[in-house]
Each structure stands twice: as C-alpha cells, then as structure tokens.
Amino acid sequence: MNLYRRFATRKNGRQMTHPQQYMEMRDEIVRMEQYLSRAIKHAKRYCDANDKLNTMIKEFGDFFYEVSKTEGEEFGTASRRFGKVMNDVAVSKQSQLIQLVFIQPCSKAITEFEESGKLHQKYLKKAEQCKAQEDLVKNFAQNKKDSVKFHQEEEKLKMLESVRDQLFMESYKYAVEQIKKKNTQNFSEMIELFSTFKAHYHESFLLTEDALPQFDMLKSSAQEKALLLDATTNRRNSIGSSLATETPTTDNLLTDDYTTSVSTPKTWVHHKRQPSKDPASMVPIAQCVIIHEFHSEGQDEINLVPGDVALIFDNTDPEWWMGCTRREKRMGYIPSSFCFSVQDTRNVQNVTALYDLRVNDPNVELEFNKNDVLNITEKRADGWWFGTNVRTKKSGLIPSNYTNACRLFEGT
C-alpha cells in the first residue's frame, strides 16, 4: 500500500515536483560542502606559508634598517630604503584578503550546509521508520486478519507520515534556500567584502583600472542570478509551504479489499473570477517588464516572453496580477514573480554610463555605451535599476554600479 503524499510544485509555480529533485539539490549541497572544505584547507595552508614568509622578510627589513644607522651616508640611505621596502612588502594584506573574501564567507556557507545535512538525516530516519511501519501494515492487509490491529497500525503509520512529511518540508525549504544562496547571497557578500578590501587596501593590493569592468561584470552576474532565482525558487518555496500546512486526506487511499489507489493530484487554482476582455475600458495602475518566460495553461492566463512590457490593472492578489502585454493585447492573469514592476514612471533620474555594457539577453537587460545618458525610472535594493537609454530609446534592466550615480553615492 502506498500512503505517501506526493510533494510538489507545478511547472512555473504550478506543476508538482518529485522528491527526486530534492535529492538532486541535496547532492549539489554535499558537493559544494566538500569542495569548499578542500578549498579552505588550501587557502589556510597558503596563508600560513605567506605569514611565515612575511615574518622572514620583515626580519630582513629590520636588519637592513638597523644596519643603515651604523653605515656611511650613501650606503646607509640605500640600506634604509631597502629595509623600508621590505617592511612594506611584509605587511601586505594577502592573508587578510583571503580570510576576508574567501575563508570567512565559505566557512559560514559550510556551517549552513551542515545544518541542511542534519535536517536531511532527521527526515531520512523518520522515512525509514515509516517504511518499516508501512511493511507491517502491508502484511496485515495481505493476511486480512485482525482488522482491529490493522487499523491501529494504520493510524500509527499516518502519525509517522505526518512527522516525516513535516521534516521533509523543513529540509526541502532549507535546501532550496541554500541552493539560492550559492548563486546569490554568499557570492554577493564575497563581492562586497572584496570591494571593501579594495577600497581600504588599494595600495598593497593592486587592482588596475583595466580590471574594474571585469570585476563589475562579475558582480552584475551575481545580481542577475539573484533576480532570476527570486522569480523561481521563492515561488517554489512558497507553494511548498502551502502544501506542508495542508491537512492530508486519506479518502480513497485504501479500498475495502485493501488494494491501493492513487488520488488525483491537486490542481493549483489561482482565481475563480474571469478577467475582463477589454483593456481599453480600464485604467492601468502599474507597468512592468517580464523577466522570465511563462507558458499559460488556460484561457485566463497570458503567455509571457522576457523583455515584453505588461500593463497591470489589478494587483490585489499578491501572486497573480491581472493585465495585458504588448504581444498579447488581451486581459489575463500574470504571475507577479515573473515581473519587474515599474512603480512610478514620473520619478525619472538621469545618470551617465561609466562603461560599455553588452548583455546576453537584450530583451531583459539594457545595452549602452560609455557616456550614454540613461533615464532611471525605478531603483531596487538588489542594485538592478530599470531605465531607458536616451540614445537608443530602448528600455531594460541596468546594473547600478555601471552608472555615475553609484560613484556619487560612494563619494568617489
């Protein structure tokens, strides 16, 4: 008999997901933990060797500096300068840099990965108990004897399943969060720490102006991943939470002759009312840009293409907005997590591009050249702004650190 509930998230926030995807996430977390552990060992070994070398160099520097006091003017001056150079080399911040931008954030990530592993082990242990109890119930069902004992063991199985399901959802949500952090939070933190180090130790850690665009592109890439993952994993997580809090039903799971039947998967219903079919008769309350592809599964929904512009007429439902797009000029429901909303187009700020930017997806991001004037219509905390290139008249997402507004804010 199979009394397991199926945990899932439908495609694009609607299709149910199999636990196999959870196991794939767990495998990825284990690989990341093992990789970071090995990398930290190598980094610490390098830091130890670097510190020993710096100590020796400093001793040489001190020696030459002391020698300069007893030698003649010409040789003494040369010795003093050489000693100062060696002392400057000895206090270079290489070890501090590695500690700051690599070892610390990686150690934090490993701690979180270990916590994910503990939650996973709790779930596996309870799953084993459920499997043993299920075998026991199967045995009673096949023998068709002692119906009282059968129902007692069946109730015990349901209780074990309830605990197992709760542990699964806790481990599942934590695993989703770790996968998202891998590409967003931890990486962004490392970049920010690197920026801080560069600002404070620019004399001892050389980062030329030629490397700045590549460095900024790396940061922009991390922010782009954060934006897209927020549109998918957050939605998967929220739907998983709703499934976890649902009270399971055991109707039709067990027939009178103790055979197994599988209940129909739950349909994700977003609205009962039908959208209006005449956008011209309504006044839009917001405008947004589509950032992720979406395939509708009903006449009341709209297909979405990255880069398309949508007008929103009703956003009372936080997950599904009613609106129309430039491509499909009809009313329908749009998943809000797939939109980059422009809240107030009247608050426009002109900024200047510091670098050239070429993007992989011009339908979502905005390309521009150095010194182009950009009209910014929305600023977000993650560093991605929305605006229009005055020269090309095209609109899209803009990494704020490519504009002079970022330098003005930093006082550089």
Give the pLDDT confidence of 385-398 residue by residue, as tens digits.
888 888 888 888 88
Q: What global pTM score does this model have?
A: 0.38
Say what the pLDDT of residue 4 is: 28
Q: What is the mean pLDDT of residues 41-54?
A: 73
Least confident of 31-35, 84-88, 156-160: 84-88
Looking at per-residue confidence, does 382 or 201 come out higher?
382
Residue 265, pLDDT > 70, answer: no
In the beta sheet, which residues pair with residue 342? Answer: 287
- Tell me what pLDDT residue 368 has: 93
Q: Which of 21, 14, 27 is nearest to 238 (CA)?
A: 14
Identify the CA nearest to 375 among candidates 402, 339, 347, 410: 347
Residue that the structure tokens 């090995």 belong to: 38
pLDDT at 192: 54
C-alpha dihedral over 287, 288, 294, 297, to 10 degrees?
Answer: -20
What does the pLDDT look like over 59-81, one tens digit per residue?
766 776 676 666 666 556 666 66
Domain 279-342, what fold?
Answer: SH3 type barrels. (2.30.30)
Q: What is the DSSP string of 199-246?
A: HHSTTTS---GGGHHHHHHHHHHHHHHHHHHHTTHHHHHHHHHHHHHS
CATH number 1.20.1270 given to 19-183+232-245: yes
Write out the residue limits of the CATH 1.20.1270 domain(s) in the chain. 19-183+232-245
Query: Which of 299-308, 335-344, 373-382 shows the lowest per-residue confidence on average (mean pLDDT)?
Result: 335-344
Instruction: Count other Cβ atoms within 10 Å, centred on residue 333.
Output: 22
- pLDDT band at residue 11 under the 50/70/90 scheme: very low
Q: Is the pLDDT of residue 357 over 70?
A: yes
What band does 115 get if pLDDT is binned at 50, 70 and 90? confident
Q: Please tell me the predicted confidence (pLDDT) of residue 177.
A: 77
Angle, in degrees to the nearest 10, between helices 212-230 and 185-200: 150
Amino acid 369: pLDDT: 92
398, exposed or middle or buried, with CB in 10 Å at 0-12, 13-18, 19+?
buried
Residue for token digits 């926030």?
Answer: 13
pLDDT digits (tens, 9 = 90+) for 266-324: 333 344 344 444 555 455 677 777 877 888 877 888 888 887 888 888 877 777 888 88
> Worst-scoring range by mean pLDDT, 179-193, 298-312, 359-373?
179-193
From-to residues of CATH 2.30.30.40 in the chain: 279-342
**Token pair recorded at residue 397:** 């997402």
